[in-house]
Amino acid sequence: MSHPLVQSMWLIPLYTMLGAALSFFLFSGITRRTGPRPAGYLNIVMTLTAFIHSSIALIYAWDAPAVDFSVPWLNVASLDLSIPFHIDAAAITACVVITGLNLMAQVFAMGYLEMDWGWARFFSLMAFFEAGMNFLVLTDSLFFSYIALELLTLGTYLLVGLWFNQSLVVTGARDAFLTKRIGDLFLLMGVVALLPIAGTWNYTELAEWAKTADVDPTLMGLLGFALLFGPMGKCAQFPLHLWLDEAMEGPVPGTILRNAIVVQVGAWVVVKLQPVLSLSPPVRTATLVIGSITAVGGALIAIAQVDIKRNLSYPTSAYMGLVFIAVGTGHTQAALLLSVTHALGMALMVMSSSAVIWNSVTQDVTQLGGLWSRRPISGISLAIGAAGLVALPPFGGFWAILRLVEDLWASHSPLCFVVLAVNLFLSFSFTRLFCRVFLGQPGQMSERCPEVHWPMALPMVVTTGFMLHVPILLSVVGLLPDWLSLDKGIALVVIWSTLTGIGGAAAIYLGNFVQKPVRLPWPGLQDLFAYDFYTPQLYRNTVVLVVSLFSKLVNWFDQYLIDGIANFFGLATLVSGQSLKYSTSGQSQFYILTILLGLTVIGLWLSLPLLSNLSVIQP
């Protein structure tokens, strides 16, 4: 019998849902006098409750077997839609990470949104997000994962569109919703098609089924692509990555969540679906190709950005690409390790950069600089976050990437170079960011820039501490390779790639021998990366163009052909009435003529048999 706290893990999504619901009463249209701040405090308390609950549950569930139970939801005909929960250590760990980072983000938001009236809306959306994510990691059904993913898509739309009086926010929220929605819809196709084939939506049963499954390879390929497409949109993978860039228009604490965790939920589904996806070799290859392209492309684009937030959104795509590579090669543990380090590191970096933005107004890195002496907390946070993301020992990212490279080295050695290149580019990109924001001469906008106040500094410091503890935690839970079995050659190469990136960026941006702003010898290439491979134009000229042309065509068809036919009948009736009224000539003699003609015709018709008889008799 497991501990009651483990048994009641299903409460975790409900805590924050309750917070979201209660925030409603503090909307500024409803509570008009006292302001919406209690909504923030309430949601922080709820998140704290969820965090404490899941943390204690984790202690009890660590070595215990997984708890499975299901809540009946809908039972019609032969379809049984109960909500299955599969509560194991991994799920509870995910809950701890989600609630913990939410707590950090919400405390941060308390400081960041100090001069904002939209607390109730913001915090209820954050809580909504949190509930969706917790539900996603606790449920053991692909179907309910899909439901949670859709809730998160809606949540993204609303949260990105928080400040909807800004036009870029509106377009960004639109793109975020539509892009993720397309992925979700493909996922739905896959989900629906999977049931008749596998007979179940439960991840554990799917994994069992996949071991012995004998399915038509074409069918399995199509199914696998559909199942892959949803997480592709969710994880902001090429070519569905533009939304993450545009989602940076939203409020920053939301960005913490999105960069750190929301993109991870796609990865969670992909990891859970790994046994099914690996049934089809083309899908595996596609996962690797998509992951590689995104990882390399995202890392390169990140280098060429001037917007501090976009500088961090593309590495998210790149890191998720690495997760895709790990899943595509079947190394789910490396994928989960990458996800956890990314969640912490990216949250830290976004917090730090937001702290800089809060006091420096601009997001343009070319106008910042020289903050290190005055803003050490933000600087250290950014540095630790970056160090925890790239392969720099002894931080968490090193072990994750090392694990991935070691796993890949045996079976997919070419992919090792992709991972190393991505690591190098990301190191370069993060170092460039650090050098441009914290080192060098103070920029125009950072001449006088104080450190932030406590609600923003506290979560940064706490997360930094947690980031520093990741290697210790990993060694406690036995995820670190022991020193003897460690492949020192690979480790050295990995470290070397990081150091090359860091050193290169530091040399370029701190040294005086390259003119700033740095121009590549090929401006076209630099613009290509800076404008994200011109993805908006790509969308506009392909999918958007086709859909808009088609909808115009259909609209024309509807307006003129379908409506035209219906209107034609009405018009014809009108015209016939208008023209046939002239049969009423007003001449009584004409009426008499009509009567006589009618009589003649009826008479002829009645005597037709008689007349035909006559003609027969006559000869």
Pairing relationship of beta strands 79-87 and 67-76 according to DSSP bridges: antiparallel
Amino acid at 316: T
The piece of 56-64, 229-237, 535-543, 588-596 that touches other proteins (CB under 8 A) is 588-596
Please state, in angstroms and as integers, the Cα–Cα distance from residue 363 to each residue in 163, 354, 592, following that order. 17, 9, 93
Q: Would you say 187 and 229 are in contact if contact means Cβ atoms under 8 Å apart? A: yes
Name the minimum Å distance from CB 596 to other proteins: 6
582 binds other proteins (CB under 8 A): yes
The piece of 149-157, 274-282, 506-514, 587-595 that touches other proteins (CB under 8 A) is 587-595
Closer Cβ to other proteins, 512 or 588, answer by number: 588
Alpha helix ranges (H) inside 213-262: 217-234, 242-246, 252-257
212 binds other proteins (CB under 8 A): no
Closer Cβ to other proteins, 522 or 582, answer by number: 582
Name the minimum Å distance from CB 587 to other proteins: 5
Q: Would you say 159 and 250 are in contact if contact means Cβ atoms under 8 Å apart? A: yes
Q: How far apart are CA 313 and CA 307, in angstroms?
A: 10
569 binds other proteins (CB under 8 A): no
Name the minimum Å distance from CB 543 to other proteins: 58
The piece of 146-154, 185-193, 547-555, 589-597 that touches other proteins (CB under 8 A) is 589-597
581 binds other proteins (CB under 8 A): yes
Closer Cβ to other proteins, 537 or 585, answer by number: 585
The piece of 107-115, 323-331, 513-521, 584-592 that touches other proteins (CB under 8 A) is 584-592
Q: How far apart are CA 565 and CA 250, in angstroms?
A: 48
486 binds other proteins (CB under 8 A): no
DSSP string across 391-414 = T-TTSHHHHHHHHHHHHHHHH-HH
Considering only 588, 605, 617, 619, the residue that binds other proteins (CB under 8 A) is 588
589 binds other proteins (CB under 8 A): yes
Structure-block tokens of residue 302: 């990140």
In what helix (H) or strand (E) does residue 136 lie, and over which residues does it extend?
helix 119-138
Considering only 554, 592, 602, 614, the residue that binds other proteins (CB under 8 A) is 592
Does the bond joining 239 to the residue before it have cis omega, within 30 degrees of 0? yes
211 binds other proteins (CB under 8 A): no
Name the minimum Å distance from CB 595 to other proteins: 10
Closer Cβ to other proteins, 523 or 598, answer by number: 598
Q: Would you say 498 and 388 are in contact if contact means Cβ atoms under 8 Å apart? A: no
Closer Cβ to other proteins, 567 or 585, answer by number: 585
DSSP string across 536-591 = HHHHHHTHHHHHHHHHHHHHHIIIIIIHHHHHHHHHHHHHHHHHHGGG--S-HHHH
The piece of 30-38, 120-128, 562-570, 580-588 that touches other proteins (CB under 8 A) is 580-588
Considering only 514, 596, 611, 614, the residue that binds other proteins (CB under 8 A) is 596
585 binds other proteins (CB under 8 A): yes
Closer Cβ to other proteins, 549 or 593, answer by number: 593
573 binds other proteins (CB under 8 A): no
584 binds other proteins (CB under 8 A): yes
593 binds other proteins (CB under 8 A): yes
The piece of 172-180, 248-256, 338-346, 582-590 that touches other proteins (CB under 8 A) is 582-590
Closer Cβ to other proteins, 62 or 590, answer by number: 590
Q: What number of other Cβ atoms are within 10 A of residue 71's Cβ?
A: 10
How big is the site for other proteins, counted in residues (CB under 8 A)? Answer: 12
Tokens 């960026």 -> residue: 505
Tokens 């606790």 -> residue: 138
Q: How far apart are CA 466 and CA 464, in angstroms?
A: 5
CB within 8 A of 65, min separation 6: which ones?
88
Q: Would you say 130 and 99 are in contact if contact means Cβ atoms under 8 Å apart? A: yes
611 binds other proteins (CB under 8 A): no
Residues within the interface to other proteins (CB under 8 A): 581-582, 584-590, 592-593, 596
